[in-house]
Amino acid sequence: MNRQSVPPQDFDGLSIDLGRVAHTVTKALDYVGVDDKSHGRRVGLMCHRIAHFLGWDRQTRHFMMIAGMIHDCGVSSTATHQKLIDELEWEGADDHCRRGAAFAQGFAPFAPYATVIRHHHARWAMLPQSLDERTRECANLVFLADRFDVVRATYLQNHRNHQVLRARDTLLATLAPHVGTLFSPHLFEALAQAMRRDSFWIELEDEFLDAAIFETLGHWDHCLRLGFDDIIALGEMISHIVDAKSPFTHYHSLRVADLVHTLTERLGFDPKRRQMLRMAALLHDVGKLRTPDEILEKPGALSDDEHDVMLRHPLDTKIVLSALFPDTPIARWAAHHHEKLNGTGYPFGWHGEHIDSETRLLTLCDIFQALCQMRPYRGRLSVDQVIAIMDKMCLSGELDPEFFQLVRVHQDELYLVAIREG
């Protein structure tokens, strides 16, 4: 049995391009749309293009692209997403603005965008006068691009992409009655100019969208060197977004990471290996952002169709983490956390010889915490009940027996870690 993993690489620091990190985070956030996977990226690109017609400098244009891309970082729920695309204004919209601003503040490179995120659903006429004029414009520009993308997406539900070119005036007219109240007249006029270019519309199509974004980002050098604390803050920010998706998953990712951190110390893992595995634990469920709320919160057994939807989240996780942490095993560990040693896991159905130590440990911690946590179909289990269930799984060959024995020895301590909130 091969339980050796790839030697961990240097994780003391990480050089990142802020635009590419924002793009990757946005792709994860766009999963929440389920069928509409590109809203955040389209809003970011539109913000940049409109800012060009406003005559804003390059640095501000790129600021707007990132602000537009991550504006919905407070949206984890598919129900909330549906409200935001069904209604021009929604009474509950301010909640996700508050959450998003708090999440952005938690990761220092995103903190400058927090104020714009906080106010991106505020009416132009009601934006706080305490904000400086440029911040008010930036927040309202995100609101304008966000709502215009909803108008565009609604039109395309019944039309082909190329037909939007002939409908541009009609779509713009949909928002015209709200100029001066919801939207700044100055910003609306810049949108009217920007949309005259055919490229404005064509670049928003999925076939061209990412290429347009990366070409634009290529004219902006904003590489940062993140220390370990910053990297963990990024992971925690994303994990908060994931865990906020359902009241039944609150703190799940954080507690799995805490369990991993506790056990790797007991096992004597070296610091870098522990750090990377903790990051994998924090982000192991990022792919669940695409899973509809009604499946995660279903009070009974999943149907075959619902089960098949669940099967994809590890690979969605792998796509996101491969982009965020290339040349590390983080994405692999996270993507394999539903594999079982006897081959009954998913999505690959690996057997023991293909599953390394880190993945075995992460799997064990994920199961332990999930059993300790309240779920829609049951209450919280006692530690004895949890161990009894996992004991059967171990006997059937699903879990690593050595790691499970360590959990059994420290079960009371680990249970307190798993159920901690806040």
Q: For the segment 341-365, what is each residue's pLDDT rounded down to a tens digit?
A: 999 999 999 998 899 999 999 999 9
Residue 160 pLDDT = 92
Provide the whole-model pTM. 0.84
Over 50: is that where the pLDDT of 381 sits?
Answer: yes
The pLDDT value given to residue 34: 47
**Contacts for 228 with CB less than 8 Å, ≥ 6 apart:** 11, 12, 13, 275
**pLDDT at residue 2, rounded to an integer:** 36
Which positions ≥6 away from 205 have C-beta within 8 Å?
Answer: 161
Residue scoring higher pLDDT (232 or 266): 266
CATH 1.10.3210.10 domain locations along the chain: 15-223, 245-419
Mean pLDDT, range 390-413, rounded to an integer: 97
Q: Domain 15-223 adopts which CATH fold?
A: Hypothetical protein af1432 (1.10.3210)
Name which of 204, 151, 142, 159 is nearest 176 in CA terms: 151
Q: Which run of H or of E encompasses 224?
A: strand 223-227
Report CA-CA distances (Å) from 362 to 219, 247, 259, 260.
40, 22, 9, 7
**Tens digits of residue pLDDT in 78-106:** 666 666 666 778 777 899 999 999 999 99
Of 5-14, 144-153, 219-228, 321-330, give the lowest mean pLDDT range. Answer: 5-14
What does each C-alpha distance from 68 to 161, 227, 381 come to in angstroms?
22, 26, 42
Contact by Cβ (8 Å): 223, 15: yes
Burial of 171 (0-12, 13-18, 19+ CB in 10 A): middle
Say how many Å lie between the first and final Cα of the chain, rounded.
Answer: 39
Per-residue pLDDT for 37 more than 50?
A: yes
Q: State yes or no: pLDDT of 197 exceeds 60.
A: yes
pLDDT at residue 5 in the model: 43
* pLDDT confidence bin for 6, thresholds 50/70/90: very low
Q: Which parts of 176-326 fold into alpha helices (H)?
A: 185-194, 198-202, 206-217, 228-243, 252-267, 271-282, 293-296, 304-310, 313-324
Q: What is the pLDDT of residue 296?
A: 77
The proportion of the chain whose per-residue pLDDT surpasses 70, expressed as a percent, equals 91
Yes or no: domain 245-419 corresponds to CATH 1.10.3210.10 = yes
